[in-house]
A and B are shown apart, each in its own frame.
Chain A
Amino acid sequence: MITVENIHKSFGDNKVLKGIDATFERGKTSLIIGQSGSGKTVFLKSLLGLFQPELGSISFDGSISKEMSDGQKRQLRQDMGMVFQGSALFDSLSVEENIMFPIKMFANQTRSEMLDRVNAVLKRVNLENVNSKLPAELSGGMQKRVAIARAIVMNPKYLFCDEPNSGLDPKTAIVIDNLIQEITKEYQITTVINSHDMNSVMEIGEKILFLKDGLKAWEGSNKEIFKTDNESVVDFVYSSNLFKKVRQVYLDETN
């Protein structure tokens, strides 16, 4: 479980996060949504430890990150997996080497043990016979799967995804969403996803955090988001006519 208490982060005079509280539970996919510039990426990077908040605290299963020693922080990093928006696969390494990289770096395993693990996670993300390919030789969807495989290869406790569907066609996007949700349940991971994709919100948003101007403006689930009367959320989530109609149908059916 990840607990965030009153975090603030500024860049010069620009206050990006102005005091956010949140809890992300184990085995659940939590989504952070909000307009561009609302502070989603800074919030996610603060969870990852890439930014240090000036105020507030972030704790991982009860351990407050800013009170950890360097060794504990290194261990925490190894418990994290991250899927970046552009996949961030190492260009010069093959798919196999990309996935093997964290094991090579942090575990003492023989080559055959590492290969077994790589093949197991590749199978889990429904990719086979791509071991020797370079990232540039794969489609966007395949790159995302390799990124997920790399993120879960060390059996992380926490999985973070930044816009995992960006640049993907709707069908592949759903496949990636479902894959992340299945992995979250199967390995009981605490998953936090930064997303702009309203399909993801409806499909896998067990918990949704809506950020606006560096503050948490709304919190709920994908069921509750249909019924909310929070104007900012309604404006953002139901900005398209299609989603307005979907919401109306849902409300008509439930009333």
Chain B
Amino acid sequence: MNYLEHVGKYFLMLKQVFKRPQKRSVFGAALFREIEDLGLKSIGIVAFISFFVGGVVSIQTALNVESPLIPKWLIGFATKRSMILEFAPTFASIILAGKVGSFITSSIGTMRVTEQVDALEVMGVNSLNYLVLPKIIAALLFYPLLVFLAIFLGIFGGWVAGVLTDLFHSLDYITGIQMDFDPFLIKYAFIKSVVFAFVIATIPSYHGYYVKGGALEVGRASTQAVVWTSVVIILLNYFLTQLLLG
């Protein structure tokens, strides 16, 4: 199947997904389950990585601005900007594409190869709507929160690293993060996180739903899903940046 056929099939899948849920109470229960699986269970990894990446960014910036002509508050300012503009929305999404994407593909793919998806269809359930829509809504609701958590922890990690290593003074760092605050950049991070959340929920669902074969194929589909989700995130990141900041 060529790429265009996959793209067409992906959009046809979305057409089935975006239908009114057949039973509101069942949809509600599925939504809370997905918020837990896709959102709450991702807090740990996002928090851990953001904290240490923030620390690394601030240490590297401090080591590269040793000139007395460059003010020390630049370290805090650079860390804040890196976290808001790129790390939190884009790289946290790529981490989530790996963690959550493989989970989505393998769970739906396993349901497909063990005929659980057929069982839903035989019962008269719109399986795409039942399986995928709660994942999309959960991701759209939760990932912006994760991104803002990543921004906060990244900046905090930068401060902790500087204070522990004595590379800069706490006050300089705090001055830097308070300087030249542009609210649009938060909006930019939010838009990216929403778009990437949609990609993280739908591309792995597509790979899982249409898998054929057995356990080996489910494994292959998970790998493909992570690769394609990451590729699409990187491409969209470029276009969104050009569109919103260019």
Q: Do A and B come from one complex?
A: yes
Give the complex CA separation of A92 and B131 in angstroms: 13
B116 within 8 A of A: yes
Partner of A77, one of B111, B114, B115, B123: B123
Q: Is the CB of A106 within 8 A of B124?
A: yes
Given A105-B123, A105-B125, A88-B26 contact (CB < 8 Å): no
A102 within 8 A of B: yes
B106 to A: closest C-beta gap in Å? 12
Interface string of A65-76 (1 = CB under 8 A from B): 000000001100
B22 within 8 A of A: yes
Inside 8 A of A102's CB, which chain B residues have their CB?
Answer: 123
Inside 8 A of B22's CB, which chain A residues have their CB?
Answer: 105
Partner of B25, one of A88, A90, A104: A104
Secondary structure of the B contact surface, majority rule: helix
Give the complex CA separation of A84 and B33 in angstroms: 26
Inside 8 A of A73's CB, which chain B residues have their CB?
Answer: 124
Inside 8 A of A59's CB, which chain B residues have their CB?
Answer: none
A52 to B: closest C-beta gap in Å? 13
Give the complex CA separation of A16 and B118 in angstroms: 20
A80 within 8 A of B: yes
Q: Is the CB of B125 within 8 A of A80?
A: no
Secondary structure of the A contact surface, majority rule: mixed
B119 within 8 A of A: yes
Give the complex CA separation of A106 and B124 in angstroms: 9
Q: Is the CB of A88 within 8 A of B124?
A: no
A234 within 8 A of B: no
Q: Give the residue name and chain of the B residue nearest to A78 (CB).
A: B124
Q: Is the CB of B23 within 8 A of A104?
A: yes
Inside 8 A of A106's CB, which chain B residues have their CB?
Answer: 23, 123-124
Q: Is the CB of A88 within 8 A of B23?
A: no
Partner of B123, one of A78, A86, A89: A78
User: What are some 24 contacts across the A-B interface (CB < 8 A)?
Assistant: A73-B124, A77-B122, A77-B123, A78-B124, A80-B122, A82-B122, A84-B119, A88-B114, A88-B115, A88-B116, A88-B119, A89-B116, A90-B116, A90-B119, A91-B111, A91-B114, A91-B116, A92-B33, A102-B123, A104-B23, A104-B25, A105-B123, A105-B124, A105-B125
Q: Which 4 A-B pairs have the closest CB atoms?
A: A77-B124, A88-B115, A88-B119, A82-B122
Additional A-B contacts beyond A80-B122, A91-B110, A92-B33 (5; CB < 8 A): A82-B118, A91-B111, A104-B25, A106-B123, A160-B122
Residues of B within 8 A of A (CB): 22-23, 25-26, 33, 110-111, 114-116, 118-119, 121-125
